[in-house]
Amino acid sequence: MKKLLIGIVIILFVLGGLQRCLRTAKRDIENYTPPEKVKIYNLNETAKLEHAELTINSVKKVRMGCVLGKEPCERSKWPRKDYFLLVEATVKNNLDQNLPVSSIVSFMFRDSTGEGQRLESFINDNFTNRLDIELTAQQTYTGVIAFDVKDSEYYILYYRSSINTPYVRFKINSSDIK
């Protein structure tokens, strides 16, 4: 009798989990936007999200990591790929509470083949205005984030204002890079 009760409890538990999975899948299908219908923003356009607004102001190409002119330029600070891209962006918090912006969590960077490009941490650590900040309510902030990239026809910068929101995309053409 005890084994039968345990078996019934396990079956009910599995069925409950399956029902939750089906509800989640249905919600994801209803909220799905095909890739061809997703807006892709360009340089100097503002993406307005639920929690924030983002504008990519400029993108600069740097051949080595000695961009601040303060430290000796050691071989370890040269790009592993072709060069570094310094992306200057403005983020506005549209909430009435704090909004974290993290170069690791909020941003992704891909080239024209879809290959992910590396966030360059040692450069980001040297910037006083890097894009790692806790924005207060309604605060606007301009900062820089660096990526170690290979040469490409264009790049796509992905940004999301929170871990539960979809990414917005910015296309950065090679002609946009200074």
What is the pLDDT at residue 177?
96
Does the pLDDT at position 37 exceed 90?
no
What is the pLDDT at residue 38?
81
If one compares 82 and 122, the residue with the highest pLDDT of the two is 82
% of the chain at pLDDT higher than 70: 72
What is the pLDDT at residue 112?
94
Q: Identify the band that residue 151 occupies on the pLDDT scale cut at 50, 70 and 90.
A: very high
For residues 132 and 123, the answer to whether their CB atoms sit within 8 Å is no
Question: Per the structure block, which two tokens stand in for 124?
Answer: 């980001």
Mean pLDDT of the chain: 82
What is the pLDDT at residue 63?
77
pTM for this predicted structure = 0.74
- 24-35 burial code (b ≥16 CB/10 A, e <16): eeeeeeeeeeee
Residue 132: closest CA among 157, 155, 108, 106:
106
| SS3 call for 4 | helix
